[in-house]
């Protein structure tokens, strides 16, 4: 029996094994019923004594070698499969779409309006400024002429953070950044403060316990109400279309004097945008700014309100529901 020849042939075949199927065929060729080993085994019964013992021993050794080679081949296959599974892949290569219509994500309507606002205000020379979502009662209210007992606080139902020494709260508006920024920067400046605000109120079609606002603050020498109106008109025309008009209605905010409500005429209807006014001298002083030298205007409005107007959304709650069919329209 030529074991060496059988082993040499097996090694050649094993090297060519590329998948599980090849491996099954290999096993069957070398260990199966029609294999060389099987036919040699069959001869054993015809032999006697020493001859039988010799061949038996040879066959056992051969079988061990064959099994080892097949096992090594199996190990090689397993490893290459694992390597393949965890191999680094090219993340820049185009993806396969899982359905006929591949679903490409897009920005949420609030983000679309925010992004557009950043673009418009930046072009007008405003800096976009970040501010803390958790604010002190002082910056959110007191610094803006709303002491503890001031009725204007009731316009903004507030969540308070229990047991906080500095009386912390999730900000009710982005106006809290006004005095913060004034204390840290010298005029002139023009800033836009975007951010989420929080109110302890029930949800309905036009109210939510959390929404986005943008706050504008401009302080410099000779800043006037006409600057405020001119700026807002520009912004609204850019955001809602060139034919949009604006109007001011007299209003009251403790931190502006005079104060106005800003409306926009969009597709023939007057819609309320938000509040604005000339920064109250007390507020300027709290920010370390001399009201005899400088003046400023401020305004604030809800981002979702703009989204509602622009995209004709009648119920703001839909913006916060995980309903892909609704959000996909924008």
Judged by CB, which is closer to ligand DAH: 175, or 295?
175
Which residues make beta-bridge pairs with 217? Answer: 191, 298
Indicate whether 253 belongs to the interface with ligand DAH (CB under 6 A): yes
Indicate whether 277 belongs to the interface with ligand DAH (CB under 6 A): yes
Indicate whether 139 belongs to the interface with ligand DAH (CB under 6 A): no
CA dist 157 and 192 (Å) reads: 24
Judged by CB, which is closer to ligand DAH: 69, or 232?
232
CA dist 181 and 175 (Å) reads: 10
Structural contact between residues 65 and 7, judged by C-beta atoms closer than 8 angstroms? yes
Least separation in angstroms between CB 320 and ligand DAH:
19
Least separation in angstroms between CB 302 and ligand DAH:
8
Sign of the Cα torsion 322, 328, 329, 330 reads positive
Site map for ligand DAH, 157-186, x if CB under 6 A? ----------------x-x-----------
Indicate whether 256 belongs to the interface with ligand DAH (CB under 6 A): yes
Residue of the chain from 298, 308, 313, 319 that contacts ligand DAH (CB under 6 A): 298
Structural contact between residues 327 and 108, judged by C-beta atoms closer than 8 angstroms? yes
CA dist 79 and 17 (Å) reads: 13
Indicate whether 215 belongs to the interface with ligand DAH (CB under 6 A): yes
Least separation in angstroms between CB 100 and ligand DAH:
46
Options 33-41, 64-72, 121-129, 294-302: segment touching ligand DAH (CB under 6 A): 294-302
Judged by CB, which is closer to ligand DAH: 173, or 266?
173
Residue of the chain from 299, 305, 316, 319 that contacts ligand DAH (CB under 6 A): 299
Judged by CB, which is closer to ligand DAH: 170, or 300?
300
User: What backbone phi and psi angles, to 5 degrees, belong to 184?
Assistant: -100, -5
Least separation in angstroms between CB 182 and ligand DAH:
13
Residue of the chain from 109, 170, 296, 300 that contacts ligand DAH (CB under 6 A): 300
Q: What is 18-58 written as a DSSP string?
A: -SHHHHHHHHHHHHSTTSHHHHHHHHHTT--HHHHHHHHHH
DSSP code at position 207: B
Pairing relation of β-strands 127-128 and 189-198? parallel
Indicate whether 276 belongs to the interface with ligand DAH (CB under 6 A): yes
Helix, coil or strand: residue 216 = strand
Q: Which two tokens stand for residue 303?
A: 């981002």
Which residues make beta-bridge pairs with 189? Answer: 219
Indicate whether 275 belongs to the interface with ligand DAH (CB under 6 A): yes
DSSP code at position 239: H
Judged by CB, which is closer to ligand DAH: 30, or 198?
198
Size of the site for ligand DAH (CB under 6 A): 12
CA dist 173 and 196 (Å) reads: 8
Binding site for ligand DAH (CB under 6 A): 173, 175, 215, 253, 256, 274-277, 298-300
């Amino acid at each position: 029996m030529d074991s060496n020849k059988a082993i040499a042939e097996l090694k050649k075949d094993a090297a060519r094994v590329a998948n599980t199927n090849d491996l099954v065929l290999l096993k069957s060729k070398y260990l199966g019923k029609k294999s060389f080993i099987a036919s040699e085994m069959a001869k054993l019964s015809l032999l006697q004594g020493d001859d039988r013992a010799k061949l038996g021993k040879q066959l056992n050794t051969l079988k061990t070698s064959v099994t080892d080679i097949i096992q090594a081949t199996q190990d090689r296959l397993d490893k290459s499969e694992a390597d393949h599974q965890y191999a680094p892949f090219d993340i820049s290569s185009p993806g396969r779409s899982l359905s006929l219509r591949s679903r490409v994500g897009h920005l949420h309507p609030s983000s679309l309006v925010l992004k557009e606002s950043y673009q418009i205000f930046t072009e007008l020379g405003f800096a976009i400024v970040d501010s803390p979502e958790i604010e002190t009662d002082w910056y959110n209210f007191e610094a803006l002429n709303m002491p503890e007992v001031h009725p204007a606080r009731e316009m903004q139902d507030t969540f308070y953070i229990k047991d906080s020494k500095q009386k912390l709260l999730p900000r009710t508006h982005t106006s809290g950044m006004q005095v913060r920024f004034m204390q840290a920067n010298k005029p002139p400046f023009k800033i836009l403060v975007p951010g989420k605000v929080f109110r302890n109120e029930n949800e309905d079609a036009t109210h939510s316990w959390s929404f986005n606002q943008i706050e504008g603050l401009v302080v410099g020498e000779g800043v006037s109400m006409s600057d405020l109106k001119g700026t807002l008109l520009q912004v609204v025309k850019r955001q809602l279309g060139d034919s949009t008009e604006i109007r001011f209605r007299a209003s009251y905010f403790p931190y502006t004097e005079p104060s106005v409500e800003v409306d926009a005429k969009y597709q023939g209807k007057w819609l309320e945008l938000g509040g604005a006014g000339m920064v109250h001298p007390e507020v300027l002083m709290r920010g370390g700014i001399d009201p005899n030298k400088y003046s400023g205007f401020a305004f604030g409005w809800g981002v979702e309100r703009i989204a509602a107007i622009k995209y004709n959304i009648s119920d703001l709650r839909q913006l916060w529901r995980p309903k892909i069919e609704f959000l996909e329209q924008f």
